[in-house]
Structure 1
Amino acid sequence: QKAGVLEFVGDSQGIGEWLKPAHARYGQVLGDIRSDKFRATLKPIQEQDENSPELEVKFKNMMEQFHPVMNYFFTEKHRDPMAWFAMRLNYTRSVAVTSIVGWVLGIGDRHCSNILIDQITGELVHIDFGIVFEEGQRLRIPEKVPFRLTNDLVDGLGVTGVDGTFRRCSEHTLRVLRESSALIMTVLEVFKHDPLYAWTGDPDKLQRAQGGGRVDLAQSATVQEKADRVLSRIRQKLRDDLSVEYRVNQLIQEATDVENLAKIFVGWQSWF
C-alpha cells in the first residue's frame, strides 16, 4: 500500500473557490453569462468529439460575454496603494516562476483546485503533483497548454498583462534554470536510481483526472527507459538552442491559445 504525508496550506484557498463567486458578484454588474454555462455547453460537444471545431466557436462566443475578475482580488484585500501593489507584484512573480518551472518539469492537471492563492501575500501555491513529466499529454483529452495562463490569471497581472513584469520574470526564471542545468540534472539523476520512484503517472490517477476513459499507458518500456526518456526531455528544455526570449514568447502563445483552451478537458475550467 502507498502512504504519504498530508500538509494543509494555511491562509490560502483554491483559485476556483474565489473566482466562481467573484464572477457571480461582478458578472451581474458587467452583464456576463453564468460560469455554469461553459460546462453545460462544452461538455456534450466534447463527449461526442473532443476535437470538434464547434468547441472553439462556442468557447470564443461565450468568453466575449465573460469578463475576467482576478484583478478585484487585490482591491478586495487592500485599499492602501502600496500594499495593493506589493500583493499584486508577489502574485505576478509567483505566476511567472511556477509557470516556467512547471513547464520544465512537465507538471500537468493545473485545474482550479490544484492552484491555491495565499490570501496574505497574494502568491500562488501549487499542490497535487500526481501528473508530471508531461503525463498530461497522455490523458484521454491531452493537455496542450504548457501551464495555466487563462484570462483570469492574466487579468491579475495588471494593465500590462503578459508583456510587463510577468514576461521579464519568466525570462529571468528560464535563464536561471538554464544556467543551473547541470545541478538540476544531477539532482534528478539521483531519483533515477531510486527503486521506489515512479517515472510515469499512476494509471488510476491518470484515469481519475478526467473522469475515467481511455489513457495511453504505454507500459512496454522498462523503468530505466522511462527514466531516461523523462530526463532527456528535461535536459532538452534546459539546453534549448532557442533564445530565452523566443522560448518564453512561444510558451505564452501556447498557454493563451484559444483553440488549446477550448479543447482542454472541461473539468480544467479554462474559462476561469
Structure 2
Amino acid sequence: EYSPDTSRSALAIRRYSVMPLSNNSGVIGWVPECDTLQKLIKDYRESRNIPLDLEKRLIWGIPVADSDRNQRLDFDKLSLMQKVQVFGEAIDKTQGEDLARMLWLRSQSSEVWLGRRTNYTRSLAVMCMAGYMLGLGDRHPSNLMIERNTGRVVHIDFGDCFEVAMDRSKYPEKVPFRLTRMLVNAMEVSGIEGTFRSTCRNVMKVLRENRDSLMAMLEAFVHDPLIGWKLISNSGEDQQSEEHGTEAKTSTIAPGAAVGKASDVPSAESPNGEIQEDQAVRITNKIQMKLNGKDFASRDGKPIEVGEQVDLLIKSAQSHENLSQMFVGWCAFW
C-alpha cells in the first residue's frame, strides 16, 4: 500500500545482483562506490596514528574486582556484571566520533555533508527495521557499507538471517540490529531523536500494514529445502564467529564476487527434514509476532503500538548489557 510518509522521504534499500550457478553455489555481484564501516574507521585512525584496536586495548587494561592486576584480562571469562563495567569504562575513555568525522571530511561542502547525513540516517533506520523483521544478524563493521556519493547505508552478507545468530551456542547475538555509538554519533545533533526515530516508526508502520504480503514471500523462502542446512546446522557457528572476528579486524575492501556453498541439504523425508520444517514454522511464527506487534506483548497478549515497539527495539540495541556480550569481532565498542 502507498505510504505518503515513506514516499516523501524516498526511502529504499540498496540491492545487488546474485547469480545462482547451481543448487549449492552462486556469484554475488560487486557493490561499487562504497566503503565498509571497517575501512572508514581504519583510514581515519591510521591518518591520526590512533590504534585500530584502541578500545580492545583499553578493555584488556581495565582492572576488574577480584582479578589480578598483573594478569591480562580475559573478557570472555568475566561475569555479565563485570563485562558491563569494563565495556562501559572502555567506551567512556574514547569519543567514538570516527565515522562522523569521516563523513564530514569526505564532503566537498556543508550542503553536501548535510544531504549525506540525512541520507545516512534515513537509510540506517530503514535497514534497522527491515533487518529486525528478517532476523538479520552478523552486522559487524565489514558487513555495513556507506555509499561515497550519497551517504546511504548498504548492508551485505545476508547469510545469518531468521535469527540464527541469536540461536548459536557460542556468542549468541542479543541485539535486534546494529545501533552502536559511532552510528549514532554520525546522525544529527539529537542522535536517535528526530529523523532516525521518526523514520523507524514510518517504516515499521508500513511493514505492519503490509504484513500479509510480506508473510507470503517470507514463508515461501523459509520453507525452501535449499536453506534447511542453514536453519538446522549449528556445527559451524562457533568457527563462523571466530572467522568473522578476524575479518572485522583485517578487512579493508568492499566485497567483490564471492561464491557461497551449502552442503548436506536434508530431504523432506529425513529426520533433519522434519527438524527443518519445525524450524520453519517457528521462524514464520516469530516474524508474524513482530509484524503483529506482539514481540514485546504485555501479559494480556495485546499488541503494542508502533511507536512503543520501535522504542523498545532501540533500547535493546543500545543496551550495554546486550552489547557487552557480543563477540569481539562484532566491535560493539564502535
The question of a shared fold, defined as TM-score above 0.5 by the shorter chain, is answered with: yes
**Structure whose residues are more often helix by fraction:** 1
Cα distance, 1:45–1:167 mapped onto 2, change above 3 Å: same
Structure 1: give runs of 5+ residues left out of the alignment. Answer: 213-218
Residue of 6, 22, 29 corresponding to 2:44: 22
Q: Which amino acid aligns with 1:59?
A: F
Higher Rg of the two aligned structures: 2
In structure 1, what is the equivalent of residue 315 of structure 2?
253
In structure 1, what is the equivalent of residue 196 of structure 2?
166
Query: Is this contact kept in 1: 2:232–2:275, CA < 8 A?
Result: no
In structure 2, what is the equivalent of residue 10 of structure 1?
32
> Distance in 1 between the 2:174 and 2:162 partners?
13
Q: Which amino acid aligns with 2:285?
A: S
Cα distance, 1:98–1:173 mapped onto 2, change above 3 Å: same
Query: Is this contact kept in 1: 2:232–2:279, CA < 8 A?
Result: no
In structure 2, what is the equivalent of residue 105 of structure 1?
134
- The SS at the match of 2:192 is helix
Cα distance, 1:61–1:206 mapped onto 2, change above 3 Å: same
TM-aligned CA deviation for residue 65 of structure 1: 1.2
In structure 2, what is the equivalent of residue 89 of structure 1?
118
TM-aligned CA deviation for residue 45 of structure 1: 2.7
TM-score by length of 1: 0.87
Structure 2: give runs of 5+ residues left out of the alignment. Answer: 1-22, 63-71, 244-271, 294-302
TM-score by length of 2: 0.72
Matches within 5 A, 1:94-243: 94-139=123-168, 140-198=170-228, 200=231, 202-203=233-234, 205-211=236-242, 222-240=275-293, 241-243=303-305
Query: Is this contact kept in 1: 2:59–2:90, CA < 8 A?
Result: no
> Distance in 1 between the 2:152 and 2:235 partners?
31
- The SS at the match of 1:200 is helix
Q: Which stretch of the first structure deviates more once superposed, 129-138 or 236-245?
A: 129-138
**Residue 37, structure 1, aligned to residue 37, structure 2:** no
**Residue 266, structure 1, aligned to residue 328, structure 2:** yes
In structure 2, what is the equivalent of residue 68 of structure 1?
96
TM-aligned CA deviation for residue 268 of structure 1: 0.5
Q: Which stretch of the first structure deviates more once superposed, 15-24 or 138-147?
A: 15-24
> Distance in 1 between the 2:36 and 2:282 partners?
33
TM-aligned CA deviation for residue 64 of structure 1: 1.1
CA RMSD of aligned residues (A): 2.5
Structure 1 segments (4+ residues) deviating >6 Å: none
